[in-house]
Amino acid sequence: MLKNEFAAGAAGDLVPHETWLELWVSNDNDYEKAMTIIESSFSNESDPEWVCGNCMELNDASFEFCWNCQSATSSPQK
């Protein structure tokens, strides 16, 4: 069960730890599976970094726009 799923919008009005997303596991047998899911959600090893076609800057895989020139990932090279 997820708790505080929508509490992030209250950050600043509530103390920080009251807005953190929590995963509650009701069955101890599901603990390992839950931990595996959590660990995989923080891992982006399969997502490659990308080079901006506009300014040739290396960007993290999580970026949809270049951090340097704000071009989208599909921008053609100059």
pLDDT digits (tens, 9 = 90+) for 1-28: 888 888 877 777 888 778 888 888 988 8
Q: Indicate if the pLDDT at residue 75 is higher than 50.
A: no
User: Do 32 and 9 lie in a common domain?
Assistant: yes
> Model confidence over 32-68: pLDDT tens digits?
988 888 887 776 566 788 999 999 999 988 888 999 9
Q: Tell me: pLDDT of 78 over 70.
A: no
Q: What are phi and psi of 41, to 5 degrees?
A: -75, -25
Say if residue 55 is in the same domain as residue 72. Answer: yes
Note whether 8 and 34 are same-domain residues. yes
Find the domain containing 9 and state its range: 2-42
Residues 22 and 52 in one domain: no
Looking at residue 9, what is its pLDDT? 77
Structure tokens at 54: 């506009």
Distances (CA, A) of 48 to 35, 57, 61, 69, 70: 24, 14, 6, 19, 18
pLDDT digits (tens, 9 = 90+) for 55-64: 999 998 888 8
* Total count of domains within the chain: 2
1: closest CA among 32, 17, 20, 22? 22
Q: Are residues 6 and 38 in the same domain?
A: yes
Same domain, 33 and 56: no
